[in-house]
Amino acid sequence: MPPGELARLYDTHAPALWGFLLNFTRDPADSRDALQEVFLRLSRRPNLLDGVADERAFLLRLAHNLAVDLIRRQSARRQAHAAFGASRLGLFVPAPDPDQAAAQGEIEAALGDLPPEQRAVVQLKLWEGLTFQALAEVLGIPPNTAASRYRYALDKLRARLRPLYAEWRQPGGGSHGS
């Protein structure tokens, strides 16, 4: 691998990988470890991406597998970490407006209530824009399973974020719709 290739891969894909890992694991330390492990693998096996058509999808799949391994190994630590579920995760860019910041906290908490598999589907569908077929390949599941997980996740998010919507729809209420 050329010297600058690893830096190019980082600059191109690290933000998406970080967002996916943080939303999936809900643990910044685990996400940092998994992100570093992704680039360690790329460094150890320079031809890992040879013949790969979609770098982003391949790296997301690698990150997902690493995160699953991390979660399995550190289940005890994660149970202890769940006690701090109320604290902000820092998944989104902090909003300057207090109302928007509160809405971000609600959305983060709502995402945190989803099972990790549904969180991963939502993340890849919304923020990565993958099709169900593509995200099914990333996660190693059938496309129908991906679609149903996405539907269940949206139903839960809709129920959880209903007060936010009510405030949002009021005329002149809140600044979320701006």
Partner 1 sequence: MDPNRLPPAPEPSPDEVERLLLRQSLQAPPPEWRDDILRHACQTRSSAPPPPALPGLAACWRACLNASWSPLVAVWLLIFALNHVSLRTADAPNPLPPLSPAALAELRRLQGDSSGPAFVVAPPPPTRESPPPPATRPRAHRLRPGLPASPDPNLTV
Contact map string, positions 36 to 65, toward partner 1, x by CB under 8 A: x--xx-xxx-x-------------------
Q: How many CA atoms lie within 13 Å of 109's alpha carbon, on the beta-carbon side?
A: 15
Q: What is the dihedral of CA 167, 168, 170, 171, to 10 degrees?
A: 140
Distance CA 161, CA 10 (A): 34
- Indicate the residue among 79 and 125 with the shorter CB distance to partner 1: 125
Q: Rounded to an integer, what distance in angstroms lies between the CA atom of residue 18 and that of residue 34?
A: 9
Site mask, partner 1, residues 17-36, x = CB under 8 A?
Answer: -xx--x---------x--xx
Residue from the set 84, 115, 126, 133 that interacts with partner 1 by CB under 8 A: 126
- Rounded-to-integer distance, Cα 178 and Cα 164, Å: 14
Asked if residue 25 lies in contact with residue 67, where contact means CB atoms within 8 angstroms, the answer is yes
Q: Does 14 bind partner 1 (CB under 8 A)?
A: yes
Q: Does 109 bind partner 1 (CB under 8 A)?
A: no
Q: How far is the CB of 165 from partner 1 (least distance, A)?
A: 5
C-beta of residue 10 within 8 angstroms of C-beta of residue 47 = no
Residues contributing to the site for partner 1 (CB under 8 A)? 6-7, 10-11, 14-16, 18-19, 22, 32, 35-36, 39-40, 42-44, 46, 90-94, 104, 107, 122, 126-127, 154, 157-158, 161-166, 168-169, 176
